[in-house]
Amino acid sequence: MFKNATFFRIAADFTLPPLEQLEAALQSAQFLHCGPTQQESSGWVAPRGNKSTILAEAVGQQVILQLCTERRQLPASAVKDTVDAMIAVYKQQTGNERVGRSLRRPIGTITTRDRHAVIDGDRMRMISVQEARAAMGFPETYRLPERAKDAMHMLGNAVCPPVARDVINAIRAAA
């Protein structure tokens, strides 16, 4: 199914260049993702998907091409300026020069949604289900749903096994 498709009728006397020549011309205009300062980028991609490198394919009397366009909603500089302003407000309100949580500190409450990320310089990733399971104190053999969203939801609703054990031991000791 097409999101957007435009079809053109070409005049009957039009002659297409040889496929090899067309392929060479398209290779020089391949699609590249938007750079840090670009708002839009367009170029040709393989019609059969990422595993193919052929940009022009002949099927019968037809030639199949695919143009890819990427548009950014906001320029990277605008996002950076907004984030920098938010960090400045945070630092002023809290008096804390550090933004984020040190890896040396215990993790905060694991919630039912992905909220914890590991940031290394300019790279960021959410903590994995395995990392959340370990942070909660569950053994590696503890089975969780295969879908990461479901597994994280269950972990967020769980009580850490070491905490549950300590509570039960305290109740036994008091009884």
Confidence tier at 10 by pLDDT (50, 70, 90): confident
Task: Give 161's Cβ-side CA count (13 Å radius).
Answer: 9
Identify the CATH class of 103-159. Answer: alpha beta
pTM assigned to the model: 0.41
Q: Where are the beta strands (DSSP E) in 25-152?
A: 40-45, 57-59, 62-64, 66-71, 117-120, 123-126
- Residues above pLDDT 70, as percent of the chain: 90
Domain boundaries, the chain: 7-99, 103-159
pLDDT at 105 over 80: no
Q: Which residues of 114-126 are buried (b: 16+ CB within 10 A; e: fewer)?
A: bebeeeeeeeeee
Confidence tier at 161 by pLDDT (50, 70, 90): confident
pLDDT at 2 over 70: no
